[in-house]
Amino acid sequence: MSSDIAWLSAAELADAYRSRKLSPVEVVRSLIQRMEKYDGIVNSFITLDSEAALETAKLAEYEIFHGRQRGNLHGIPVGLKDNIDVAGLPTTCHSKILLNNLPRRDAHVVSGLRAAGAVILGKQSLHEFAFGGPSPELPFPHAKHPWNTEYHPGGSSSGSGVALASGFTPLSIGTDAGGSIRNPAGSCGLVGLKPTYDLLSRRGVFPVSPSVEHVGPMARTVRDIAVTLDELIQIDRRLPETSSPLDLKLPELEQGVKGFRIGFVRNFHEEDMIADPQLISALNEVARTLEREGAIVRDVRLPRVQEFAAVHRVILLSEAWNVHAPWLRTRPGDYTTPTRRKVMAGAFLTAGNLVQACRSRDALIGSVDAAFGEVDVLLTASALDPVCRIADQAELLRTYARHARSPFNLTGHPALAMMSGRATNGLPLSVQFVGRRMGEATLLRTARAYERATQWMSTNPKPFNA
Amino acid sequence: MSGLEIDPLHWAASLGLAEIVRRFPDDAIAAYRDARRDLDDLPDEQPPELPSAPADQPKK
């Protein structure tokens, strides 16, 4: 039973609690035992808070079994990227700089999860400050791909993706300033959503670059992404300062894409940065699948992906320099080499460069908004290359900047990445769907229609199961 | 420093990054080159036109 529990979705667990086929304590205990046995192989968690998780699970069990189920996340285990504050647990950002950082307050998203009755399992590994990459200089070992530990699981929410793909948790919360939710989601055969900018509060999240950074859910199914976002929005709606007008229309999630107008952005991966042929082929097949499901797919042209990327990086690096300058001056040796180099680039950007980038950003937002005048959802590449080997530094560096995710950090449109096939190395290929701002309902419905039509993720390997 | 229009180490030192300049000069140079590459790719958005100054100031 324990291996079955590992692969149940959050929605399936909530149903099992309602029918008393499973209890939150049984589930949490089973997942903790699984992590204690196997996480040393893939390094997905930095801090596992077993004791508190079991206490929360006991309370959830009592409430649910006494007819007081709070909602779809009650008693559901969730892991958090270790740049999200949980009162009393270290927020290290996977860096020597913050080894002694002990927050006193929960991040806003953590308060929401607690109000929904979710069980916080602990803090997950990441790229240092959501910036760097795998490095032997890190204070904790970097995460590894659970399908094949020689491969990179994507980042920067690496541990969040690895934990899901290892059957350690049905839900993770990550952050995404340049693709950090969508990259590991696509690389590990999962679903990751960067919601509309500011839809989920960043309070209590260590900042990378506040104007392009987003908090969002990662899961193994589209439904779990929808349910998690819905629960967090519902809780926020009770607070006047965070009231959201968004309605995810969950009852319509299964209603398909018939008549939806899908804009296929080919220029990103066919002209601007030519993608690996396996990805091009997979993206074409995504378009054909959606057409078979009744969507109307047409080509849409956006500005060159390099323009988005340059504007994004000038803003991101300027803001990151502002955060890190004091430590770069006093503790530069406590950063890993990749992070030190990336963060320091912001020192060489001027106020004039930032103003120019912000002006360009407005124009790029206008171009994406104009595209949404003609279509309901955009279909684009996420990664432009298959998942690479983690020890291959040259390939890591080459592929690091080759993706089509940062355009939508810049514009604030919601963007979801998910699996679109398998490469010849056996690891997942990915696709990205993008919605109008606050258009998550249509975006999730499209992703669900694709998930249902392809069944890619239901055939994924189940690591550590004999 | 041939091929670079300015000395990134001098620039870094002027920003208080003397320890990086001393211990990790290669990182400073790599970071400078990364920043220049991003600026080279930045779209050439023109600033909004400023209103021209009136030819004659109204008399008070």
What was the pLDDT predicted at B60? 53
- The answer for A431, left when phi > 0, alpha when psi is -120 to 50, beta otherwise, is beta
Q: State yes or no: pLDDT of A243 exceeds 90.
A: no
Q: State yes or no: pLDDT of A466 exceeds 70.
A: no
Report d(CA A295, CA A377) in Å as an integer: 10
> Which strand ranges, in their side-by-side order, compose the sheet holding A171-176?
A45-48, A119-124, A77-81, A171-176, A214-219, A191-194, A415-422, A428-435, A377-380, A261-264, A296-299
Report d(CA A424, CA A359) in Å as an integer: 42
What was the pLDDT predicted at B58? 58
The angle that helices A351-371 and A305-330 make with each other, rounded to 10 degrees, is 140
Report d(CA A374, CA A436) in Å as an integer: 11
Residues of chain A above pLDDT 90, percent: 90
What is the least distance, in Å, from the CA of A49 to any CA of chain B?
Answer: 37
Record the pTM.
0.95
Report d(CA A29, CA A6) in Å as an integer: 11
Contact by Cβ (8 Å): A332, B19: yes
Chain A CB within 8 Å of residue B45 CB: yes
Q: How far is CA A412 from the centre of its chain?
A: 15
Report d(CA A444, CA A317) in Å as an integer: 31
B19, B28, B41 member nearest A309 (Cβ):
B41
| Span A189-198, average pLDDT | 97
Nearest-CA residue of chain B relative to A334?
A: B20
Structural domains present in chain A: 2-465 (3.90.1300.10)
Residues of chain B above pLDDT 70, percent: 68
What was the pLDDT predicted at B2? 47
A259-309: pLDDT as tens digits: 999 999 999 999 999 999 999 999 999 999 999 999 999 999 999 999 999
Tell me the three-class secondary structure of A76-103, residue by residue. Answer: CEEEEECCECECCECCCCCCHHHCCCCC
* CA atoms in the 13 A half-sphere facing the CB of A158: 33
More confident position, A396 or A230: A230
A318-349: pLDDT as tens digits: 999 999 999 999 999 999 999 999 999 999 99
What is the least distance, in Å, from the CA of A410 to any CA of chain B?
Answer: 14
A117-139: pLDDT as tens digits: 999 999 999 999 998 788 889 99
Q: How far is CA A401 from the centre of its chain?
A: 18
Report d(CA A297, CA A377) in Å as an integer: 10
Q: Which two tokens stand for residue A319?
A: 């803001």
Q: Which two tokens stand for residue A458?
A: 């239901």
What was the pLDDT predicted at A152? 96
Q: State yes or no: pLDDT of B4 exceeds 60.
A: no
What was the pLDDT predicted at B32? 95
Report d(CA A316, CA A293) in Å as an integer: 38
Q: State yes or no: pLDDT of A2 exceeds 60.
A: no
Task: Give chain A's mean pLDDT.
Answer: 95
User: What is chain A's alpha carbon radius of gyration, rounded to the nearest angstrom?
Assistant: 21
What was the pLDDT predicted at B5? 65
Report d(CA A272, CA A306) in Å as an integer: 7
What was the pLDDT predicted at A429? 97
Q: How far is CA A21 from the centre of its chain?
A: 30
**Which positions ≥6 away from A423 have C-beta within 8 Å?**
A276, A278, A386, A387, A429
At A380, the pLDDT band (50, 70, 90 cuts) reads: very high
**In which element (H, E) is residue A230 found?**
helix A222-237
* Nearest in space to A427 (alpha carbons), one of A42, A147, A161: A147
At B54, the pLDDT band (50, 70, 90 cuts) reads: low
| Span B40-45, average pLDDT | 83
* Nearest in space to A371 (alpha carbons), one of A431, A413, A401, A428: A413
What was the pLDDT predicted at A375? 98
Report d(CA A74, CA A10) in Å as an integer: 10
**Which positions ≥6 away from A365 have C-beta within 8 Å?**
A410, A411, A412
A158 catalytic, yes or no? no
Nearest-CA residue of chain A relative to B26?
A: A341
Residues of chain A above pLDDT 70, percent: 98
At B1, the pLDDT band (50, 70, 90 cuts) reads: very low
ipTM of the modeled complex: 0.87
Report d(CA B32, CA B1) in Å as an integer: 12
- Using alpha carbons only, give the angle A164, A157, A88 rounded to the nearest 5 degrees: 90
Report d(CA A16, CA B20) in Å as an integer: 56
| Span A40-69, average pLDDT | 97
List b or e across A443-456, with b for residues whose CB sees 16 or more CB atoms inside 10 angstroms: bbbbbbbbbeebeb
At A156, the pLDDT band (50, 70, 90 cuts) reads: very high
The partner residues of A296 in beta bridges, in order of sequence, read A261
* Nearest in space to A294 (alpha carbons), one of A422, A416, A429, A452: A452
* Sign of the Cα pseudo-torsion (A69, A81, A233, A235, in order): positive
Chain B CB within 8 Å of residue A322 CB: no
Among the listed ranges A4-18, A137-151, A190-204, B40-54, which one has the minimum average pLDDT value?
A: B40-54
What was the pLDDT predicted at B9? 95
Q: State yes or no: pLDDT of A239 exceeds 90.
A: no
B contact residues 9-38, partner A, Cβ 8 Å cutoff: 11-12, 15-17, 19-20, 23-24, 27-28, 30-32, 34-36, 38
A344 to B20: CB separation less than 8 angstroms, yes or no: yes
Q: State yes or no: pLDDT of A257 exceeds 70.
A: yes
